[in-house]
């Protein structure tokens, strides 16, 4: 997406607290090339998939709540028990929603979402510990239900069809129709576009349906990386992202960064641009990947304890 890449690059060029170590980036790209790492599959045991319109609705509900899984200070992280495993974060959310669908709770129906209550949402998610921003999650789902009912006959699949097999059109449409997906910040008095969750929705459809049916997009390769808090953690561990001493201290001491603050915007913008540079470097070596595929690789790496030695930055936000 040109607006995401262009504005991210403009931030990178003016960043005061975050920068990219090109030598470390080239070294990592070389290792990826030599190791022959492939693109992780989207489908996993924690995702609901039946190949129908319900899968489209499930993914949109999932990505509507795909943000801020870390616990407030002094609180236990939110976790669920699923098939003898303890899951937290994104996988916990995916599995909770999968269980809801399979148990007959109609979370894929716009009518249900539009009238959802906090009590019902808490029952759907279950688990132990604290999941932040529950009131916001409820508001987002109710908003989603209403928008689908008012403009798309209550069907997420109709919204997707209206994008006419364009991932970019879908991202912009989602951001236009659903304010909670309108992930835009300001930096030096200009708008910086991220569209993290809107882009993830398009990529998830592509991954779930293997680039066919509702996941068929002619321009899927135009998506960028998804600027969250896990990718910067991985890139910093690899020495690719570097922080100024004051910012490093804040992140390492788990001091919250305000959403839209220069430091937070610089972390996210440099993350997007670093992935774009990795993509270009791999392309130069003869391996072609889409930016979001490299994002998936880095995110999967971030699930290993090796990449959690230093904390991720903390921002209370609905955008990631």
CA atoms within 13 A on the CB side of 221: 6
CB-based contact 220:206 (threshold 8 Å): yes
Q: Hey, which residues does 4 pair with through a beta bridge?
A: none
Is 228 annotated as catalytic? yes
Residue 289 tokens, joined = 């990947």
Instruction: Return the CA Rg of the chain.
Output: 19
> For 190, phi and psi rounded to 5 degrees?
-135, 155
Question: Pick the catalytic residue: 63, 183, 204, 228?
Answer: 228
CB-based contact 55:102 (threshold 8 Å): no
- Measured CA to CA, the distance from residue 44 to residue 229 in angstroms comes to 22
> For 19, phi and psi rounded to 5 degrees?
-150, 165
- Measured CA to CA, the distance from residue 66 to residue 53 in angstroms comes to 20
**Best CA proximity match to 97, nearest among 49, 155, 51:** 49
Residues belonging to the active site: 228
């Amino acid at each position: 997406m040109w607006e995401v890449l262009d504005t991210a690059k403009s931030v990178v060029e003016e960043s005061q607290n975050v920068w990219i170590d090109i030598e470390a980036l080239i070294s990592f790209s070389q290792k990826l090339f030599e190791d022959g790492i492939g693109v992780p599959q989207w489908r996993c045991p924690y995702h609901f998939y039946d190949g129908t319109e319900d899968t489209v609705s499930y993914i949109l509900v999932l990505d509507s709540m795909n943000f801020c899984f870390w616990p407030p200070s002094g609180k236990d992280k939110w976790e669920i028990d699923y098939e003898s495993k303890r899951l937290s974060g994104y996988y916990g959310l995916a599995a909770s929603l999968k269980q809801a669908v399979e148990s007959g709770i109609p979370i894929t129906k716009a009518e249900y979402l539009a009238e959802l209550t906090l009590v019902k949402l808490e029952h759907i998610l279950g688990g132990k510990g604290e999941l932040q921003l529950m009131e916001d999650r409820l508001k987002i789902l109710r908003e989603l239900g209403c928008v689908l009912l008012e403009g798309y006959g209550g069907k997420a699949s109709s919204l997707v069809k209206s994008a006419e097999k364009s991932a970019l059109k879908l991202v912009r449409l989602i951001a236009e129709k659903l304010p909670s997906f309108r992930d835009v910040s300001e930096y030096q008095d200009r708008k910086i576009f991220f569209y993290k969750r809107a882009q993830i929705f398009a990529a998830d459809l592509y991954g779930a349906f293997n680039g066919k049916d509702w996941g068929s997009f002619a321009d899927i390769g135009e998506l960028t990386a998804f600027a969250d808090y896990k990718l910067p953690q991985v890139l910093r561990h690899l020495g690719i992202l570097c922080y100024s001493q004051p910012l490093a201290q804040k992140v390492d001491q788990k001091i919250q960064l305000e959403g839209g603050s220069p430091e937070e915007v610089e972390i996210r913008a440099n993350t997007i641009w670093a992935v774009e540079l990795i993509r270009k470097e791999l392309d130069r070596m003869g391996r072609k990947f889409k930016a979001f595929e490299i994002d998936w690789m880095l995110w999967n790496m971030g699930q290993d304890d090796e990449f959690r030695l230093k904390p991720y930055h903390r921002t209370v936000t609905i955008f990631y």
